[in-house]
Chains A and B, each alone.
Chain A
Amino acid sequence: MNTIKEQWFGNVRGDILAGIVVALALIPEAIAFSIIAGVDPMVGLYASFIIAVVIAFVGGRAGMISGATGAMALLMIPLIAQYGLEYLLAATILTGILQILFGVLKLARYMKFIPRSVMVGFVNALAILIFEAQIPHLFGQGWLVLGLAGATLAIIYLFPYISKVIPSTLVAIVIITGYTMFTGLNVFTVGNMGALPETLPIFLIPNVPLSYETLAIIFPFALALTVVGILESLLTATIVDDMTDTGSNKNRESRGQGIANIVTGFFGGMAGCAMIGQSVINVKSGGRGRLSSLVSGIVLILLILLLGNIVVQIPMAALAGVMVMVSISTFDWNSLRTLLIVPATDSIVMVVTVVTVVLTHDLSKGVFAGILLSAIFFVSKISKISIKSELDTNKKKRTYFIKGQLFFASVTEPIAEFDFKEELNEVVLDFTHAHIWDDSAVAAMEKIITKFEDNGTDVEVTGLNEASTLLVDKLRHKLSSH
């Protein structure tokens, strides 16, 4: 999969078939994610079409599927509710610009600073939010709606035992929609949620004033969309890398996601990113190349244009059923099993990430909370230093062996371990197993030395490693000058 030709035409048959399967599975999700965000179904469908097609050309990971996603839709809810669609489109374009910057500045490598437990918390929180968004569509509307959603789920999980060729979500949607259409059941449908014009998307500049106020409104949303979009896309790319035993260009993928979002914003689509579930379906159905993403986008829009009048008949209960399945498969169930096995701090970080997201409804805030907490845990873990000492009674000389990382967080407590009042001729501070990192550590060292010297004890410092010595020399000079 190295040359461009191979990435496009190395697997034509598999890519076309998988692309069709993905398109069929994309339709219910794109509609449901639009409804989560609070926009017309067409906004999500346009987004999935445009993003899939654009990413086929500019993405960094062949065989990955991108489109409108739940993670992004959840971030848009307040923007749509307060300011409306035009501001969402503007935010989508700004998201694209920020993502291109992310790619150009090659920031993908900094993703390693996001701990594993934060990633697990991210997907779990995403699953919970998707489920939560379905509650109004599921409950409080009588048993009929719950029954339809239950039947949808049953078909989704049981149909694969009959055939795996057709996506079971589509089969469920078709059966349930057919049932409600023929029996004339009066339930909420996609048509009740918004218009579904049977037209291709057209180029439009979002109708917002080009002012500082607009930027102030959309920037926080665009930033959150950028972070979440890149995070999910790079996670998905890594999963596809692993499934196919091939590599991918993460910075190119970030750039590609940006370009796709700019284009979708100008054509009336909402911001999107890579989709874990759809990419897994694509690879499992035999999709490997760029063609699979292109085919999925084109087939999706053709189906919508041809079958739009049937799509509006899809009951909301059936879509809610599909979303419950998406939420179940998004959740990392393994993390519950290992919750008590992994270090407690990791579990706490995961849970805090989840709780922050569920409370704020903002995935990016959860990620920041998780990273911050992990950093604090890490600092407190490595700030444990040990001090042992040995007394040479003949020479009245005590040697302190200091072991660990000396920095701002680790130097306040150990001072208490030194006995400055002891009757001694000489004190040796042995730093062989220590590293001095910052000015707080140097200042603390100074303090210890002066305290001993005030007491009339000579101090000798030994075993400082080269980096520590350099820092001490540089800082002692500066610190003593003020």
Chain B
Amino acid sequence: MFNKILLASDGSEYAIRATEKAIEVAKCNPETTIHVVYVAGDSKGDVLQNWNTLGAQDKRKEKVSPSVEKLEAARIKYEVKYLHGEPGPAIVKHANENDFDLVVVGSRGRNRLQELVLGSVSHKVAKRACCAVMIIK
């Protein structure tokens, strides 16, 4: 029933647990594709740290690699997509514009301080996404 799953991943332990649950859901249906999404928030910082976009992209690949490895091992069809902007709104926009059936997201991410100030990404996604949302504790 869930053909198109959006998995938000930032390489944190919550994201890894979210990956595991997303794989369990995906195994129920051979048609399922999991779209791993990573949101790069700070282009300026990433470019400064790496000088060029290639280096910045390598860093992002590293961030999603724990999720990708698990998907490879489980032999699930997957795609990786990098978004830019603030994590919450970027994930919501991507989910709503591309007709996803399910969004899987960890309850917490990397940045505790940011969460305190801006509210959690999972909360924003649950509130504003038009499809089913699974929040992994």
Listed in ascending order, the chain A residues whose CB lies under 8 Å from chain B are 112, 116, 119-120, 123, 235, 238-239, 241-245, 276, 280, 284, 332, 334-335
Contact = CB atoms under 8 A, between A and B. Distances in A.
B44 A116 contact: no
Interface residues of B, number: 17
Interface string B34-76: 0000001011111111111100100000000000000000000
B123 interface: no
Given A276-B44, A280-B44, A332-B45, A238 B84 contact: no
A123 B43 CA distance: 15
Nearest to B117: A161
How would you classify the secondary structure of chain B's contact residues: helix, strand, loop or mixed? helix
B105 to A, nearest CB: 22
Given A119-B48, A238-B53, A284-B85, 5 more contacts: A120-B48, A241-B53, A242-B84, A334-B45, A335-B48
Nearest to A161: B118
Interface of B: 40, 42-53, 56, 82, 84-85
B45 A238 contact: no
Contacts of A334: 42, 45, 48-49
A242 B45 contact: no
Contacts of A244: 84
A81 to B, nearest CB: 32
Contacts of B84: 242-245
B43 A112 contact: no
Given A243-B43, A334-B45, A116 B53 contact: no
A334 B44 CA distance: 11
Given A280-B43, A284-B85, A242 B56 contact: yes
Contacts of B45: 332, 334
Nearest to B42: A334
A130 to B, nearest CB: 16
A341 to B, nearest CB: 12
A242 B51 contact: no
